[in-house]
Amino acid sequence: MSCFACFSSNEKRRRSRRHANQRARSPITQRSHPRNENQQRVQANHKAPSPKRTSNETGNNQNVVKVTTNDNIAAQTFTFRELAAITKNFRQTSLIGEGGFGRVYKGKLPKTGQFVAVKQLDRNGMQGNREFLVEVLMLSLLHHPNLVSLIGYCADGDQRLLVYEYMSAGSLEDHLLDLPRGKAPLPWFTRMKIALDAAKGLEYLHDKANPPVIYRDLKSSNILLDKDFNVKLSDFGLAKLGPTGEKTHVSTRVMGTYGYCAPEYQRTGQLTVKSDVYSFGVVLLELITGRRAIDTTKKNRDQNLVNWATPIFKNPHRFTKLADPLLKGDYPEKGLHQAIAVAAMCLNNDASVRPFIRDVVTALSFLGDGSDAIELIDTSTEPSPSPSLNTNKQAKASVDDREQALAEATEWGAASRTSRMSKSMR
């Protein structure tokens, strides 16, 4: 029942015959971790999706993926009975998350004692069989410290479950947005460390995977954290192989989360790695401001975070208005300015002017290099102002030592802005 090859065969039989001859292999390789030929084989299909995640997708590259019986997928296979046992029959007490895709439960593997997160996909929800297959294969072939590890999966009957490593601190959304009363906010340098880790995860997908992988669903709820606030990107059901050769983009139906999607992708369905860069800019702006990408509790003109912040980008004297009020001014002014400059470039409406994610990693590494001295805040709901205050004072003490690095980052930002202006004047 849990055999992945059997599931793939059933899925193949359900596909219409008129697309049977359109399958093509699209290998995913890792330059830093070469795998054998069997591990790299991915079979693609060019079917078109509806706007929902249960639909198919069109494109010049894969989105329906099938593993041949000879492929060596490292992830374990579980039966539904096994996963029901470790989650206490999916009881409410084991529930740790819920979304349009289904529910996530905490469990413990009996053989190893390892805690895991079990995502049970809603059979009528937003994540369908094809997204399930994509996620299993992507996470089986791609490995990086800033990508969540897939432990295994279950494909018993019509049940679709994914088993991940357990991230004890939950998501970035839990610690940044709509904090409960009494919970200390994330310190500035912790926020920059999270941004840097997320950017490194994207850099791996864009520059180390061959062909590149476009994540397509970067948002605060998909950035998972461990107890030390190390980042792992999760939920790869919408991930798509990027353009290869002379192709500049991949054409797909628009899918993702409103508020995070790049404007050109929303308009045309043309997807590039720069689409991920835009989404990263939205997340970085959330980290800076402590505000949601879309907040319907605010006035109409202020509900969209990017629309609210864009006029302020033009006036550095107003940059402090973008800082999260919960920080109470406890951040380096130059660091704030540089972080805003990076976010503004990532959010440029012209995709060609946006920086590549590797350049973003370089800039953010200057802003986050004080994080090693940070003792991260307690994640309990009790107020804990002292650790946050003390650690930020330590980080501020090292600001002078980072002047040269910040100057270089500022110079990089200025050069990018100059390039953008020259293009707009042509």
The catalytic site residues sit at 217
Q: Is 206 helix (H, G, I), strand (E, B) or coil?
A: helix
Packing angle, helices 385-397 and 188-203, rounded to 10: 70
Euclidean distance between CA atoms 272 and 275, whole angstroms:
5
What is the number of other CB atoms lying within 10 angstroms of the CB of residue 37?
A: 10
- Compute the chain's Rg from CA coordinates: 22
Euclidean distance between CA atoms 94 and 80, whole angstroms:
16
The secondary element (H helix, E strand) that includes residue 312 is: helix 305-313
Bridge partners (DSSP) listed for residue 250: 271
If you ran DSSP here, which 8-state letter would residue 347 be given? T
119 appears as a binding residue in the annotation: yes
Distances 64 to 9, 59, 159, 210, 240 between C-alpha atoms, Å: 12, 11, 18, 18, 10
Show the tokens assigned to 113: 């004692």
Helical segments of 225-268, H only: 263-268
CB distance 192 to 364 below 8 Å: yes
The secondary element (H helix, E strand) that includes residue 345 is: helix 333-346
**Spacing of C-alpha 406 from chain mean position:** 26
Residue ranges for the known binding site are: 119
Residue ranges for the known binding site for ATP are: 119
